[in-house]
Amino acid sequence: MFCSQCGANNADTAAVCVQCGRNLQVATATTPLQSTGVVLPPGATVQNYLVFAILATVFCCLPAGIPAIIYAAQVNSKLQAGDLAGAQAASNNAKMWCLISLGLGLGSIVLYGVLIMAGVLSGIHQH
Amino acid sequence: MQKVNENRVLVVLLAASAVTMVMLGAFDPATSGGFPPCPVRYLTGWYCPGCGSLRAMHQLLHGNLRAAWAMNPLTVVLLPFLTYGLASFALFEIRGRGLPQPLLRAVWIRALCAAIILFGIARNLSLYPFDLLAPGAMLHL
């Protein structure tokens, strides 16, 4: 089947276009995937949060970004396999780990600020 | 409702990143103490894959590609992709359509993940040439 957005030739079982990621199943089927219970608007794709996962790994400096990247990979492998429900579940996990990473990163910044303040205050006290 | 909340988080994050970029341009994390240290480095003494990324960003903002590369080559390599991805995400939020993105094969994402982990391990080795990957080591070549 050919993608209605970019014209790339896809396998008939493909859930999304391999070229542009457009959701092919809703575009072709009149009833949106009731078997899996996942309803995507036409043209939508399942977000894998890969950019945020990498950002979290490189700039939050914490191992929590790694599971986010692994779930991002899982989103794409499930999409390739045509498993929209599985892709959506993996997408939610990827998002969760991005947020955990962000929370830990912000938490350590706040903790660092508190430690600095404590250091400054004890310094003042000693003088 | 969910969408609105997500957008708010994004706007706050973008504003925070913009402030951080300005701070990074003005102050060098290598010499000024205001930037928090990497928690992994602080707690374990090991370099993580992201160690030196802030110093690399500072050097990039000042046009020093070589110094940025020495601080964290991974950040320099990934930055164009991250910029494209973020621009696409922002455009998607604004006009409902992002930039064209091929669906990455899962095996490539897993390879990237492995590369990041291996990079993190390699830069902690005191064995040449891996020790050159430690933040700033290549500056002393």
Nearest of A18, A48, A13, A46 to residue A28 by alpha carbon: A13
* Residue A54 in contact with partner chain B when CB distance is under 8 A: yes
pTM: 0.78
- Clarify whether residues A122 and A66 are in a common domain: yes
Q: State how many domains chain B has.
A: 1
**Selected residue with higher pLDDT from A68 and B101:** A68
Looking at the complex, report in whole angstroms how far the Cα of residue B117 sits from the nearest Cα belonging to chain A: 8
Token duo for residue B28? 């060098």
Answer with the one of A27, A45, A63 that is the final residue of a domain.
A45
Size of interface A-B (CB pairs under 8 A): 92
* Per-residue model confidence as pLDDT tens digits over B19-59: 989 999 989 988 877 788 888 888 889 999 999 999 999 99
Q: Give ipTM to 2 decimals.
A: 0.86
Sole residue written with tokens 């575009």: A27
How many angstroms away from the CA of A7 is the closest CA of chain B?
13
Query: Could you read off the pLDDT of B120-132 as tens digits, one per residue?
Result: 999 999 988 999 9
Domain coverage including residue B110: 2-140
Distances (CA, A) of A62 to A59, A106, B21, B80: 8, 11, 20, 22
Q: Which domain holds residue A6?
A: 1-45
How far apart (Å, rounded) are the C-alpha atoms in residues B117 and A19? 28
Mutate to test the interface with B, among A16, A51, A78, A110 (most CBs of B within 10 A): A51
Q: Do A77 and A37 belong to one domain?
A: no
Q: Residue A43: how many CB atoms within 10 A of its CB? A: 15
Cα radius of gyration rounded to whole Å, chain A: 21
3-state secondary structure of B60: helix
| Rounded distance between C-alpha atoms, residue B59 and residue B125, angstroms | 25
User: How far is CA A98 from its chain centroid?
Assistant: 7
Residue A50 contacts B, CB cutoff 8 Å: yes
Partner-chain contact B103 A69, CB within 8 Å:
no
Number of domains in chain A: 2
Are residue A60 and residue A32 in the same domain, yes or no?
no
